[in-house]
Structure 1
Amino acid sequence: MTDQPQASEPTADPAVSVVGPGDGETIVLGTTRLRVLEDGSNTGHRLGIAESILAPHTPGPPQHRHAQHDEGFYIISGAVRFTVGDQDYDATAGTLVMVPPGAPHTFANVTDEPAVMLSTFTPDLYVQYFRDLEDMIAGGRAMTPQANIQAMRRYATEPATRGWTP
Protein backbone atom coordinates (compact mmCIF):
# COMPACT_ATOMS: atom_id res chain seq x y z
CA MET A 1 0.00 0.00 0.00
CA THR A 2 1.43 3.41 -0.95
CA ASP A 3 0.81 6.65 0.83
CA GLN A 4 -1.68 8.67 -1.11
CA PRO A 5 -1.66 12.46 -0.71
CA GLN A 6 -4.60 13.60 1.31
CA ALA A 7 -6.91 16.08 -0.29
CA SER A 8 -6.96 19.19 1.79
CA GLU A 9 -10.03 21.16 2.57
CA PRO A 10 -10.52 24.06 0.16
CA THR A 11 -9.43 27.32 1.70
CA ALA A 12 -10.96 30.69 1.09
CA ASP A 13 -8.94 33.00 -1.12
CA PRO A 14 -7.33 35.90 0.70
CA ALA A 15 -9.32 39.11 0.61
CA VAL A 16 -8.32 41.55 -2.09
CA SER A 17 -8.08 45.19 -1.10
CA VAL A 18 -9.34 47.76 -3.59
CA VAL A 19 -8.94 51.46 -2.79
CA GLY A 20 -10.77 53.71 -5.22
CA PRO A 21 -9.84 57.26 -6.23
CA GLY A 22 -11.94 58.82 -3.47
CA ASP A 23 -11.11 56.21 -0.83
CA GLY A 24 -8.38 55.83 1.73
CA GLU A 25 -7.54 57.60 4.94
CA THR A 26 -6.62 61.29 4.49
CA ILE A 27 -3.95 62.85 6.70
CA VAL A 28 -3.16 66.56 6.41
CA LEU A 29 0.22 67.71 7.69
CA GLY A 30 0.61 71.40 7.02
CA THR A 31 0.99 71.81 3.26
CA THR A 32 1.21 68.06 2.65
CA ARG A 33 -1.87 65.91 2.10
CA LEU A 34 -1.43 62.14 2.42
CA ARG A 35 -3.89 59.51 1.34
CA VAL A 36 -3.12 56.19 3.00
CA LEU A 37 -3.83 53.51 0.41
CA GLU A 38 -2.51 50.58 2.47
CA ASP A 39 -1.75 50.84 6.17
CA GLY A 40 -0.43 47.30 6.42
CA SER A 41 -3.66 45.74 7.65
CA ASN A 42 -4.16 43.93 4.30
CA THR A 43 -0.52 42.90 3.83
CA GLY A 44 0.32 41.33 7.17
CA HIS A 45 2.16 44.61 7.90
CA ARG A 46 4.75 43.85 5.21
CA LEU A 47 3.90 46.94 3.15
CA GLY A 48 2.35 50.38 3.61
CA ILE A 49 1.51 52.74 0.73
CA ALA A 50 0.55 56.42 0.71
CA GLU A 51 -0.08 59.02 -1.96
CA SER A 52 1.30 62.42 -1.01
CA ILE A 53 0.48 65.80 -2.50
CA LEU A 54 3.09 68.42 -1.63
CA ALA A 55 1.99 72.01 -2.19
CA PRO A 56 4.48 74.37 -3.86
CA HIS A 57 7.42 75.27 -1.59
CA THR A 58 6.67 72.53 0.94
CA PRO A 59 9.65 71.84 3.19
CA GLY A 60 10.33 68.27 4.13
CA PRO A 61 11.13 66.64 7.45
CA PRO A 62 14.56 66.96 9.03
CA GLN A 63 17.06 64.69 7.27
CA HIS A 64 16.74 61.29 8.93
CA ARG A 65 17.62 57.57 8.78
CA HIS A 66 15.25 54.64 9.21
CA ALA A 67 16.67 51.63 11.04
CA GLN A 68 13.93 49.13 10.28
CA HIS A 69 12.25 49.89 6.98
CA ASP A 70 12.85 50.68 3.34
CA GLU A 71 11.08 53.68 1.89
CA GLY A 72 10.26 54.19 -1.77
CA PHE A 73 9.05 57.30 -3.57
CA TYR A 74 7.58 57.27 -7.08
CA ILE A 75 6.98 60.74 -8.51
CA ILE A 76 3.61 60.88 -10.29
CA SER A 77 3.63 64.57 -11.20
CA GLY A 78 5.67 67.67 -10.49
CA ALA A 79 9.16 67.52 -9.03
CA VAL A 80 10.50 66.63 -5.60
CA ARG A 81 14.01 67.44 -4.38
CA PHE A 82 15.58 64.60 -2.41
CA THR A 83 18.59 65.35 -0.27
CA VAL A 84 20.73 62.35 0.57
CA GLY A 85 23.56 63.41 2.83
CA ASP A 86 24.96 66.49 1.07
CA GLN A 87 23.73 65.51 -2.40
CA ASP A 88 20.53 66.91 -3.96
CA TYR A 89 18.52 64.98 -6.56
CA ASP A 90 15.62 66.60 -8.41
CA ALA A 91 13.18 63.80 -9.16
CA THR A 92 10.53 64.47 -11.81
CA ALA A 93 7.47 62.48 -12.90
CA GLY A 94 8.36 58.87 -13.64
CA THR A 95 11.31 58.77 -11.22
CA LEU A 96 11.60 56.16 -8.46
CA VAL A 97 13.75 56.88 -5.40
CA MET A 98 14.43 53.91 -3.10
CA VAL A 99 15.87 54.60 0.34
CA PRO A 100 17.26 51.57 2.22
CA PRO A 101 17.55 51.43 6.01
CA GLY A 102 20.35 53.65 7.28
CA ALA A 103 20.48 56.03 4.30
CA PRO A 104 20.20 59.71 5.33
CA HIS A 105 17.44 61.47 3.41
CA THR A 106 14.80 64.13 3.26
CA PHE A 107 12.65 65.63 0.51
CA ALA A 108 10.87 68.88 -0.33
CA ASN A 109 8.90 70.51 -3.10
CA VAL A 110 11.01 73.56 -3.98
CA THR A 111 9.00 74.39 -7.11
CA ASP A 112 6.02 76.65 -7.85
CA GLU A 113 3.83 73.65 -8.77
CA PRO A 114 2.27 70.90 -6.63
CA ALA A 115 4.01 67.53 -6.62
CA VAL A 116 2.36 64.13 -6.25
CA MET A 117 4.24 61.03 -5.19
CA LEU A 118 3.48 57.49 -4.15
CA SER A 119 5.40 56.31 -1.09
CA THR A 120 6.00 52.74 0.05
CA PHE A 121 7.06 51.60 3.52
CA THR A 122 8.43 48.08 3.87
CA PRO A 123 7.38 47.01 6.43
CA ASP A 124 4.47 49.35 7.16
CA LEU A 125 6.14 50.73 10.30
CA TYR A 126 6.03 54.39 9.27
CA VAL A 127 2.31 54.78 8.45
CA GLN A 128 1.50 55.28 12.14
CA TYR A 129 4.12 58.05 12.32
CA PHE A 130 1.97 60.20 10.00
CA ARG A 131 -1.09 59.53 12.14
CA ASP A 132 0.89 60.58 15.21
CA LEU A 133 1.87 63.87 13.54
CA GLU A 134 -1.74 64.54 12.59
CA ASP A 135 -2.84 63.87 16.19
CA MET A 136 -0.11 66.19 17.46
CA ILE A 137 -1.31 69.03 15.21
CA ALA A 138 -4.97 68.37 16.07
CA GLY A 139 -4.00 68.58 19.75
CA GLY A 140 -2.62 72.08 19.20
CA ARG A 141 1.07 71.19 19.29
CA ALA A 142 3.27 72.84 16.64
CA MET A 143 5.04 70.54 14.19
CA THR A 144 8.53 71.81 14.96
CA PRO A 145 11.63 69.89 13.86
CA GLN A 146 12.09 68.78 17.47
CA ALA A 147 8.52 67.49 17.79
CA ASN A 148 8.90 65.75 14.42
CA ILE A 149 12.09 64.01 15.58
CA GLN A 150 10.44 62.89 18.82
CA ALA A 151 7.68 61.25 16.75
CA MET A 152 10.23 59.69 14.35
CA ARG A 153 12.09 58.06 17.21
CA ARG A 154 9.02 56.01 18.11
CA TYR A 155 9.45 54.29 14.72
CA ALA A 156 13.18 53.44 14.77
CA THR A 157 14.12 56.66 12.96
CA GLU A 158 16.83 59.09 13.97
CA PRO A 159 18.01 62.48 12.70
CA ALA A 160 20.84 62.23 10.18
CA THR A 161 22.17 65.75 10.67
CA ARG A 162 23.88 67.19 13.69
CA GLY A 163 22.12 69.81 15.73
CA TRP A 164 18.63 68.24 15.77
CA THR A 165 18.10 67.17 19.35
CA PRO A 166 14.77 67.40 21.09
Structure 2
Amino acid sequence: MGVFELTVPPGSQVPPPHSHTRNEECVYVLDGILRYSVNGVVRDLQPGEWMHTPPGSVHHFSNPHIGTARALIILTPDVGAQYFRDVGAIINAGGPPDREKLIGVMSRYGLVPAPPR
Protein backbone atom coordinates (compact mmCIF):
# COMPACT_ATOMS: atom_id res chain seq x y z
CA MET A 1 0.00 0.00 0.00
CA GLY A 2 1.18 3.50 -0.77
CA VAL A 3 -0.13 6.72 0.75
CA PHE A 4 0.85 10.21 -0.32
CA GLU A 5 -0.42 13.76 -0.10
CA LEU A 6 -1.35 15.44 -3.36
CA THR A 7 -1.49 19.22 -3.84
CA VAL A 8 -3.54 20.37 -6.84
CA PRO A 9 -3.27 24.07 -7.78
CA PRO A 10 -6.26 25.91 -9.27
CA GLY A 11 -6.71 25.22 -12.99
CA SER A 12 -4.87 21.86 -12.93
CA GLN A 13 -5.98 19.19 -15.42
CA VAL A 14 -3.32 16.51 -14.78
CA PRO A 15 -3.12 13.53 -15.13
CA PRO A 16 -5.04 12.59 -18.27
CA PRO A 17 -7.94 10.15 -17.74
CA HIS A 18 -6.51 6.67 -17.14
CA SER A 19 -6.99 3.32 -15.46
CA HIS A 20 -4.68 1.10 -13.43
CA THR A 21 -4.10 -2.50 -14.48
CA ARG A 22 -2.82 -3.60 -11.05
CA ASN A 23 -3.94 -1.00 -8.51
CA GLU A 24 -7.01 0.32 -6.79
CA GLU A 25 -7.03 3.88 -5.53
CA CYS A 26 -8.88 5.98 -2.96
CA VAL A 27 -8.78 9.75 -2.77
CA TYR A 28 -9.62 11.55 0.49
CA VAL A 29 -9.80 15.37 0.37
CA LEU A 30 -8.04 17.34 3.12
CA ASP A 31 -8.47 20.96 1.91
CA GLY A 32 -10.18 22.78 -0.93
CA ILE A 33 -12.36 21.13 -3.54
CA LEU A 34 -11.07 18.40 -5.86
CA ARG A 35 -13.05 17.33 -8.92
CA TYR A 36 -12.76 13.56 -9.24
CA SER A 37 -14.27 11.31 -11.89
CA VAL A 38 -14.58 7.50 -11.87
CA ASN A 39 -16.17 5.78 -14.88
CA GLY A 40 -17.97 8.99 -15.82
CA VAL A 41 -19.30 9.75 -12.31
CA VAL A 42 -17.99 13.25 -11.50
CA ARG A 43 -17.98 14.69 -7.99
CA ASP A 44 -16.56 17.86 -6.46
CA LEU A 45 -15.10 16.39 -3.28
CA GLN A 46 -14.82 18.63 -0.22
CA PRO A 47 -12.72 18.08 2.92
CA GLY A 48 -13.63 14.78 4.56
CA GLU A 49 -15.14 13.30 1.38
CA TRP A 50 -13.58 10.47 -0.58
CA MET A 51 -14.01 8.34 -3.70
CA HIS A 52 -12.87 4.81 -4.58
CA THR A 53 -11.39 3.73 -7.92
CA PRO A 54 -11.43 -0.05 -8.54
CA PRO A 55 -8.71 -1.57 -10.79
CA GLY A 56 -9.53 -1.01 -14.47
CA SER A 57 -11.80 2.00 -13.79
CA VAL A 58 -11.14 5.12 -15.85
CA HIS A 59 -10.55 8.05 -13.52
CA HIS A 60 -9.28 11.60 -13.58
CA PHE A 61 -8.94 14.53 -11.24
CA SER A 62 -8.75 18.26 -11.77
CA ASN A 63 -9.13 21.52 -9.90
CA PRO A 64 -11.28 24.01 -11.83
CA HIS A 65 -11.89 25.92 -8.58
CA ILE A 66 -10.29 29.07 -7.16
CA GLY A 67 -8.34 27.58 -4.24
CA THR A 68 -5.67 24.89 -3.99
CA ALA A 69 -6.90 21.38 -3.16
CA ARG A 70 -5.01 18.84 -1.03
CA ALA A 71 -5.86 15.16 -0.81
CA LEU A 72 -4.51 11.87 0.49
CA ILE A 73 -4.17 9.23 -2.19
CA ILE A 74 -4.08 5.57 -1.18
CA LEU A 75 -2.91 3.01 -3.75
CA THR A 76 -2.84 -0.73 -3.28
CA PRO A 77 -0.51 -2.14 -4.28
CA ASP A 78 1.80 0.87 -4.29
CA VAL A 79 3.19 2.09 -7.65
CA GLY A 80 6.28 3.46 -5.89
CA ALA A 81 7.75 6.90 -5.36
CA GLN A 82 9.79 6.82 -8.59
CA TYR A 83 6.59 7.04 -10.66
CA PHE A 84 5.79 10.41 -9.07
CA ARG A 85 9.35 11.65 -9.52
CA ASP A 86 9.18 10.72 -13.22
CA VAL A 87 5.79 12.45 -13.66
CA GLY A 88 7.00 15.49 -11.69
CA ALA A 89 10.00 15.88 -14.00
CA ILE A 90 7.63 16.15 -16.99
CA ILE A 91 5.12 18.45 -15.30
CA ASN A 92 7.80 20.76 -13.90
CA ALA A 93 9.77 21.03 -17.16
CA GLY A 94 8.06 24.35 -18.01
CA GLY A 95 5.13 25.04 -20.25
CA PRO A 96 2.25 22.64 -20.75
CA PRO A 97 3.10 19.01 -19.88
CA ASP A 98 4.27 16.89 -22.84
CA ARG A 99 1.36 14.45 -23.16
CA GLU A 100 3.37 11.80 -25.06
CA LYS A 101 6.13 11.76 -22.42
CA LEU A 102 3.53 11.63 -19.67
CA ILE A 103 1.76 8.70 -21.32
CA GLY A 104 5.11 6.91 -21.71
CA VAL A 105 5.80 7.18 -17.97
CA MET A 106 2.26 6.13 -17.09
CA SER A 107 2.52 3.03 -19.30
CA ARG A 108 5.77 1.91 -17.66
CA TYR A 109 3.97 1.77 -14.31
CA GLY A 110 0.81 -0.06 -15.41
CA LEU A 111 -1.38 2.99 -15.96
CA VAL A 112 -3.45 2.91 -19.13
CA PRO A 113 -4.43 6.24 -20.72
CA ALA A 114 -8.10 6.39 -21.69
CA PRO A 115 -8.83 6.93 -25.40
CA PRO A 116 -9.48 10.59 -26.26
CA ARG A 117 -13.14 11.59 -26.24
* Deviation per residue, 1:109-142 (Å, 9 max, x gap): 1100111101111111153211112344577796
2:48 to 94, 100, 109: 94
Corresponding residue for 1:104? 58
Runs of 4+ in 1 over 6 A off after TM superposition: 138-142
**Which of 1 and 2 has higher RCO (CA within 8 Å, sep 6+)?**
2
2:97 aligned partner, one-letter code: M
Q: Structure 1: where are the runs of 5+ without partners?
A: 1-46
Alpha carbons 2:10, 2:66 under 8 Å: kept: yes
- The CA RMSD over aligned residues, in Å, is 2.1
Identity %: 32
Measured in 1, the distance between the counterparts of 2:59 and 2:109 equals: 16
What code does the residue aligned with 1:121 have?
L
User: What is the total number of aligned residue pairs between the two structures?
Assistant: 117
Q: Within the alignment, does 1:67 sit opposite 2:45 as a pair? A: no
Kept in 1: contact 2:38–2:53 (CA 8 A): no
The equivalent position to 1:132 in structure 2, one of 86, 95, 100, is: 86
Structure 2: tracts of 5 or more residues without a match: none
TM-score, length-scaled by structure 1: 0.63
What one-letter code is carried by the residue in structure 1 that aligns with 2:67? Answer: E
Residue among 59, 69, 77 paired with 2:31? 77
What are the residue-to-residue correspondences of 1:16-165 with 2, within 5 Å?
47-136=1-90, 143-162=97-116
TM-score under structure 2 normalisation?
A: 0.87
Equivalent AA in structure 2 for residue 97 of structure 1? M
